[in-house]
Structure 1
Amino acid sequence: MANIQMYVHAITIDPDTNTPIVILKEVDGDRTLPIWIGLLEATAIATEMEKIEFSRPMTHDLIINLLNAIGAEVLKIEVSDLKDNTYFALITLKYGEKEAKVDARPSDAVAIALRAGAQIFVNESVIRQVRSFDGQGSLKRSAGQKSWDEILNELDPKDFKYKM
């Protein structure tokens, strides 16, 4: 299956559960992928998006510092699978002539990719699985509510940026 390049479009809060959602959007298209994440991971992503610096390295910064110290680099991350409503991701690292893929939660992979300036990809099969929830290409919420695609298309990113 092909990988689709995406970027972090925004972080918002699910109004039903108050859970943070990172919104990935297709670079060369209109498809979006919402991934529900934890508050700490949302904070890690948002601080990097806002270029907020701390006096001491936070966990994802430490990971990048460790990789840099040994001469390794993050080539890309990929949201690779969706099983039982859980997303899976891989971080592709390069160390010398070797490449390695490391299993990660998508939220951690995104936070690391942002810090490393690495590209973000989503496997086409993941997008298809998400789109098949209602058979019409939209993520359903509850009966009578708008789909996530409808909500996201109506909002300006300034309206739903995660606030620190």
Structure 2
Amino acid sequence: MPMVPVEVLGVRQQQGAGQEIVVLLLDPAAELVVPIIIGPREASAIAMAQAHLTAPRPMTHDLLRNVLDALRVELTRVEIVALDDGIFYAEMVLGTGVRVDARASDAIAVAVRTGSPVLCSAEIVALAGVELVDGEQQREMERFRDFLDHVTPEDFGPPEEGETPESPERDV
């Protein structure tokens, strides 16, 4: 399946029913944006990494990056490989050639932390991509990028119990 490089534009809260949070992937060649619905924790993880913010203690995606670093295994790339019934499937491709099945949001959060490229199946871009058609959408993207420069974890609501960056877990 042909893969195309995509840019992780960031996360955004959709207006309307359910106030869904999406991560936006841009295929610049096709001028299509692929929105993937994600949870608030993953949204916070992606936004924090893009804003170069760190928690006082490693979050799950930081931990995975740290384990890869400790093992001296590179995350070569993340591939969004399938879309089934509205669910996106990803694989993390390691420098050893091993492919690890992952949720798209988790794989993207690790890719942003490691500076690894994200690729998406051309078929998925064609099926789920939304066209960029006018200057207003370009301005929206610029405002969104500005938002990423100033986002904080608190912008995505209260963290779940035991996962607050302000109160690090204790090793007992």
TM range, normalised to the smaller chain? Answer: 0.7 to 0.9
How does 1:1-164 map onto structure 2 within 5 Å? Answer: 1-16=1-16, 17-94=18-95, 98-131=96-129, 138=130, 152-153=137-138, 155-159=140-144, 161=147, 163-164=151-152
Q: Is the 8 A contact 2:9 2:26 kept in 1?
A: yes
Structure showing greater relative contact order (alpha-carbon pairs closer than 8 Å, 6 or more residues apart): 2
The whole-number CA distance in structure 2 between the counterparts of 1:92 and 1:24 is 18
Aligned-partner residue type, residue 7 of structure 2 = Y
Unaligned 5+ runs, structure 1 = 132-137, 140-147
User: How far does residue 71 in structure 1 lie from its aligned partner after superposition?
Assistant: 1.1
**Structure 2 vs 1, CA of residues 4 and 20 (structure 1 numbering), >3 Å: closer, same or farther?**
same
User: How far does residue 11 in structure 1 lie from its aligned partner after superposition?
Assistant: 1.4
**Structure 2 vs 1, CA of residues 86 and 72 (structure 1 numbering), >3 Å: closer, same or farther?**
same
Superposition TM-score, scaled by structure 2 size: 0.77
**Structure 2 vs 1, CA of residues 100 and 12 (structure 1 numbering), >3 Å: closer, same or farther?**
same
Higher helix fraction (1 or 2): 2
**Structure 2 vs 1, CA of residues 122 and 153 (structure 1 numbering), >3 Å: closer, same or farther?**
same
Point out 4+ residue stretches in structure 1 off by more than 4 angstroms: 148-154
Unaligned 5+ runs, structure 2 = 153-172
The whole-number CA distance in structure 1 between the counterparts of 2:74 and 2:141 is 33
User: How far does residue 123 in structure 1 lie from its aligned partner after superposition?
Assistant: 0.4
Aligned-partner residue type, residue 80 of structure 1 = V
Aligned-partner residue type, residue 67 of structure 2 = L
Alignment partner, residue 164 of structure 2: none
User: How far does residue 157 in structure 1 lie from its aligned partner after superposition?
Assistant: 3.1
Superposition TM-score, scaled by structure 1 size: 0.81
Q: Is the 8 A contact 1:44 1:111 kept in 2?
A: yes
Q: Is the 8 A contact 1:32 1:149 kept in 2?
A: no
Farther-moved stretch of structure 1 (23-32 vs 152-161): 152-161
Q: Is the 8 A contact 1:9 1:157 kept in 2?
A: no
- Percent identity over the alignment is 27
User: How far does residue 129 in structure 1 lie from its aligned partner after superposition?
Assistant: 2.3
